[in-house]
Amino acid sequence: MIQSAVRWLLVSCVVTALLACFSLSYRYRAESLNRAVGVTLELDTVADFAASSNLSVAEALGQLKSAGLTGVVMSEETIGDLVSDGRASLVPQAILLTNEDTALRARIAQGLERRFNMFVPNGGSTIPIGGLSGSLARTVAISIDAEAANEIRGNGLFIVARMSNPAGVSSDYVRKTIAAAAEAGTGFFLPQGDQVLGRRDALPVLLESLAQSKILYATPEFAKIGGDANVVAKAPEQVVRLHAAQAAEIDKLTLGGALERYGKAAAERNQRILLLRPLSYTSDPPMSGLTDFVKKVSAQLRKEGLVPGTPHAFTDPGTPSWLLALLAISVLPALWFGAQLSGINFFNLGSRLALILAVAAVVSGVTEAGRNYAALVAAMLYPVLAFTLLVHAPPKNILSGYVRTSMISLVGGLVVAGLLNGLPFLVKADSFSGVKLAHFAPIAFIGIWFWMRNGQWRSAMVDPVRWGQALLGFVLLTALLFMATRTGNDSPAGVSGVEMQFRALLDQWLYVRPRTKEFLIGHPALVILLGALIARRSETLASGWLAIGAMVAAIGQTSLVNTLCHLHTPLAVGLTRILVGLVLGGIIGALGWGAWSRFATAHK
């Protein structure tokens, strides 16, 4: 009976894995078609460096374009900016232009009309503003500089326009602001300030205007901007992700660290516009340092298999709904056989309710609304199955057990990635909501299951607690709580300086950096656990120490699944990270088991 269940379980795992890979082939194709990454600088930065090197902005842009720059970020100008630059002055009830510039006058007139529905007569260097206060007049946006925009586009560079959301504007203001940006040649819109243009009531107008003008929305990574998440969720097909580093952050990095930061943002998190900050403000001549940095960032992107260019939005993978439904249903046999192998008492009310809920969650995966629930069950199920097979179908050797356990756990990650396979996940408009539960619930279940297989567990519950046991329990609980703060699509815990240096070394040595808790903790523990299980076949398999070892080993397996739950990470990167972690962890574990075996033999 048990052997038959094991055999059919393995067959169902293979079928499910094939269906998941078929689904993921659609995602891989969508990712492969989007390799262009925009390398950009702010226009003000270019102008500052150009002036310091006795170059015109056009000449500086030409040099930067040759180095790999593909776009320029322009902020909308305000009347206050004109006053600060000496191009205009404010007097009671009027704006005085320093020079009679018809184009600038027209931009000011359009800005006043958009913001306050104010009519401005043609001609002259004096622009009446009626009873408008000087402080309020300074805030009036007059769009981006069309002349500068023409110069940028003349150098073959795209434009990212930054626009704010002033207080008290109408939907018509939003519509006309986007139209003006489009007329100036804008290809991308980036929010400026704390809110997206049109925040709340006028967001549908913003999305409609962007679509009509064929302007893509650039969502800034890590920024907390009101309305940004709403735009990304409502129109993922219009979204391009943007990564920027603040000057204070760049100042703490070495050249290698800065290159890694930008390269990994594009290669591992699907950021398709990189907004560069100068690594150094001092060089001879000043322009040479900036040009060299742009050149090296572009080379880093090529090293990552990407292409500096004009980015575009991701297309939906287009995975057939019937395939997703079939993938969800394919988890049911594994759930059934897993319940048998785990020794669940089907006559126990709690066990039956748990199984019914799990089956209902999996079946709900045939619908779009239920796929997250089916994915959660799969993420928790397959690592548990992998460990139950260590008891019911013991491996012949450590290597076969290591590979089989990891491959069964991997099926759980493939199911999550295969079911949640759509455009919203690629641009992080949506994410797998069960990351933490899928990470820690299997660890707890595996530890309890191994422990309860020991016939002495009932007596252990009433025995006095020893100091060593209490200390070990405290250490394990602390470690798991720390892991909880570091797990998820947005981890709140900071990373220490030592760990950052260690990560940087791994990034330099390896094609993809594996997860530390996998290759340094979980995978080596699995190798040692397998060695202990194989060495103790004639004895009780589930002593208290083996239960602890199983929990530690399960950390690597659930982390392996978790790697594929980060759905905005390119599929090839996630799978490579898993493979590298398994190889390194296996080597470390083999060395650890060898050392332990010699130590145990020497002290017999």
Distance CA 358, CA 365 (A): 11
Q: Average of pLDDT values for 540-554? A: 74
Q: Residue 254 pLDDT > 90, yes or no?
A: no
Q: Say yes or no: 494 and 436 in one domain.
A: yes
Task: Point out the domain boundary residue: 308, 342, 361.
Answer: 308
Q: What is the dihedral of CA 95, 99, 103, 107, to 10 degrees?
A: -20
Q: Residue 140 pLDDT > 50, yes or no?
A: yes
Task: Specify the length of the chain in residues.
Answer: 604
Instruction: Kindly list the distances between the CA atom of residue 336 and the CA atoms of 143, 148, 347, 554, 593, in Å, as whole numbers in the listed order.
Output: 62, 66, 15, 21, 34
Q: Say yes or no: 235 and 344 in one domain.
A: no
Two tokens, residue 504: 């940087």
Two tokens, residue 572: 């090839």
Q: What is the dihedral of CA 199, 205, 211, 215, to 10 degrees?
A: -50
513: DSSP letter: P
Q: Say yes or no: 134 and 164 in one domain.
A: no
- Render pLDDT for 216-243 as a digit per residue (tens, 0 to 9): 999 999 889 999 999 999 999 999 999 9
Q: Say yes or no: 119 and 262 in one domain.
A: no
Task: Point out the domain boundary residue: 101, 116, 142.
Answer: 142
Distance CA 523, CA 539 (A): 24
Q: Say yes or no: 125 and 164 in one domain.
A: no
Is the pLDDT higher at 506 or at 214? 214
Looking at the 3D structure of the chain, how many domains does it have?
A: 3
Count CB atoms within 10 A of the CB of residue 567.
24
- Does the pTM exceed 0.85? yes
- Render pLDDT for 440-469 as a digit per residue (tens, 0 to 9): 899 988 988 887 776 555 555 555 555 555
Which sign does the torsion angle of CA 299, 305, 307, 312 carry? negative
Range among 121-135, 259-273, 493-507 rated most confident:
259-273
Percent of the chain with pLDDT over 90: 65
Q: Average of pLDDT values for 493-504? A: 55
- Render pLDDT for 339-358 as a digit per residue (tens, 0 to 9): 887 766 655 666 778 888 99
Q: Say yes or no: 506 and 436 in one domain.
A: yes
Q: Say yes or no: 99 and 168 in one domain.
A: no
pLDDT at 499: 57
- Render pLDDT for 523-537 as a digit per residue (tens, 0 to 9): 999 999 999 888 875
pLDDT at 44: 94
Q: Say yes or no: 87 and 223 in one domain.
A: no
- Render pLDDT for 14-72 as a digit per residue (tens, 0 to 9): 999 999 999 999 999 999 999 999 999 999 999 999 999 999 999 999 999 999 999 99
Q: Say yes or no: 389 and 419 in one domain.
A: yes
Task: Point out the domain boundary residue: 119, 142, 165.
Answer: 142
Q: What is the dihedral of CA 121, 123, 124, 128, to 10 degrees?
A: 10
* CATH classification of the domain holding 250: 3.20.20.150
Distance CA 98, CA 302 (A): 47
Q: Say yes or no: 501 and 585 in one domain.
A: yes
Is the pLDDT higher at 352 or at 292? 292
Please give the mean pLDDT across all residues of the chain: 88
Residue 398 belongs to domain spanning: 2-32+316-602
Q: Say yes or no: 495 and 580 in one domain.
A: yes
Q: Say yes or no: 412 and 533 in one domain.
A: yes
pLDDT at 309: 97
Distance CA 564, CA 414 (A): 7
Distance CA 404, CA 195 (A): 50
